[in-house]
């Protein structure tokens, strides 16, 4: 059974411009990644550039080294701060 995440998506949209970290939690395979993909699509369709969105999948071996908090910080900093 697939439950559409519009309610959760609307909550993310409501908090969009708040200077707070948004955390999505849930049990495995409950739709967290789908929800975040929906939110990314919403952002892209509403003026946010793809380069402004940072996505990290910790199950992807390409990001394995980012489980070290200092490497994660440096990666995120390199993607978000203008030089």
Tell me the average pLDDT of the chain. 89
Please state, in angstroms and rounded to a whole number, the distance separating the CA atoms of residues 60 and 78.
19
Using a cut of 0.95, tell me whether the model's pTM lies above it.
no
Would the pLDDT of 60 be above 90?
A: yes
Q: How many CB atoms lie within 10 A of CB 52?
A: 11
Q: What is the mean pLDDT of residues 44-50?
A: 95
DSSP string, 4-59: --HHHHHHHHHTTTSSS------STTSSHHHHHHHHHHHHHHTT--GGG-----TT
């Amino acid at each position: 059974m697939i439950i559409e995440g519009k309610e959760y998506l609307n909550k993310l949209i409501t908090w969009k411009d708040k200077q707070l970290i948004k955390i999505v939690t849930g049990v495995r395979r409950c739709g967290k990644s789908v929800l975040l993909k929906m939110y990314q699509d919403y952002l892209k369709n509403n003026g946010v550039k793809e380069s402004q969105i940072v996505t990290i999948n910790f199950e992807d071996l390409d990001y394995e080294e980012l489980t070290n908090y200092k490497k994660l910080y440096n990666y995120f900093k390199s993607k978000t701060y203008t030089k």
